[in-house]
Amino acid sequence: MTRRSDFPSDFAWGTATASYQIEGGVADDGRTPSIWDTFTHTPGTVSDGNVGDVADDSYHLWRDDIAVMRELGVNAYRFSISWSRLVTPDGELNPAGVEYYRTLAAELNDRGITPWATLYHWDLPQYLEDADGWLNRATVDAFVHYVELAVQSLGDVIDHWITLNEPWCSAFLGYASGHHAPGRHVGSQAAHAAHHLLLGHGRGVAVIRRLQPEASVGITLNLYSVRAASDSDADRDAARRADGLQNRLFLEPVLTGRYPADVLADLGEEAWFGERTEDLAEIAQPIDFLGINYYSRHTAAAGERDADTSATPSANPGSEFVRFIDTGATKTQMGWEIHPDGLIDVLEQAHAYAPELPLYITENGSAWPDVVQPDGRVDDPERQEYLEQHVAACAAAIGRGLPLRGYFIWTLIDNFEWAWGFSRRFGLAYVDYATQRRTVKSSGTWLAGFLSGALEAPDGVPAQAAR
């Protein structure tokens, strides 16, 4: 069995959230619109037709959220700062935004919960998108200015900074498939947005180093375990392409100072990137840790190449023909296959690039159709089993000598799940959106017991996911 005592005493056990998904208060106290405000108010963009204007109302109910954290027994909390709440369109600090995040971080510290702040979790101010958003290099300058203001105003209460969350999503879901805000379809030029995001990361790291030398700073990438569906050359190439666009396009510039040439060739963007090689030294600024968001595995197979992809914009430009096949593994409500051993795969992949770099799982979790029982309980055995399996995978990773330093569960409370609206629940606590009442689910009760040392997780990786 896996026990809390199997992990280092200073291991970070946390949960994670994002500003647009939980805060609400979208027009309160000087906050201005972000691309997600605009996107969700555009008909047809969110599956259940909802918007995040109120979400979990955490802007007003953040004390309730800390109470949930206390009940869970976590020692860390990863949240994101709303750029639109902290900084005004004229580039000045918004005092109310500063006060909100200062008060939140200070209370977390007082409660023995370390704040981990993500500076960018997808919610670009709308006025910057109006000027072409992350496709415009000038957005990098705006981001660096925002980072400077954030650290100057919050650095005395926040020591752990994450520059970006999942730049693959920001670039390719936002600018290629249009499934996420800002909902654009620019094909392979979405990689230009990825480059500008990474340049913003590197320059942001430099700002934090200058203003707060003692801070711990990193970036969070969403990595997938990728395997070929067969040993055929076509399927192996499909896996190479999937791993390249999803993982290596971000890992390599951040950790090695170069872009993978094969991925730029897949995209047909060699010339554009070739003119920007001088940016790579800035992108590869040394970091203190790498955050990894892990949810599932891609099993890649080659499909038919279709010359006309305009009708169905893809998040994988240049590799639209790659198929992800069903392996028969159990799926979450999101349709994501459960492969706990894939968590070890992505840790090993990152570790190979930077063997001395501490690693954190900054998101891992699952959505299920939770139901409130007549007595008010919310039993979610599927989520508990998912957590048990992935906690065991974390222990196995440490046993292999991988420098895993923390595990953050997505997510603290049910919230606005981007293009899925309120139709998907990932929380350790159930939220009744009519009353905003938070109720810790049975998975959260299990976590509290595990962290207290009273409960265990089944040992090892399940047979269905064996390597």
The set of catalytic residues is: 166, 363
**Chain-centre distance of CA 409, in angstroms?**
11
Which residue type, as a one-letter code, is found at position 267?
Answer: L
SS3 of residue 406 by DSSP:
strand
Which residue type, as a one-letter code, is found at position 250?
Answer: F
Contact 457, 443 (CB under 8 A): no
Task: Calculate Rg over the CA atoms of the chain.
Answer: 21
CA–CA separation, 97 and 83 (whole Å): 9
SS3 of residue 182 by DSSP:
coil
SS3 of residue 133 by DSSP:
helix
Contact 116, 14 (CB under 8 A): yes
Q: Which of 31, 50, 32, 30 shows the shortest CA–CA distance to 41? A: 50
* DSSP, res 41: T
End-to-end CA distance of the chain: 20
CA–CA separation, 296 and 427 (whole Å): 18
157 Cβ contact list (under 8 Å, min separation 6): 102, 105, 106, 109, 115
413 has which bridge partners?
429
What sections of 290-441 are H helices per DSSP? 341-353, 381-399
Q: CA quadruple 27, 33, 36, 39: dihedral positive or negative?
A: positive
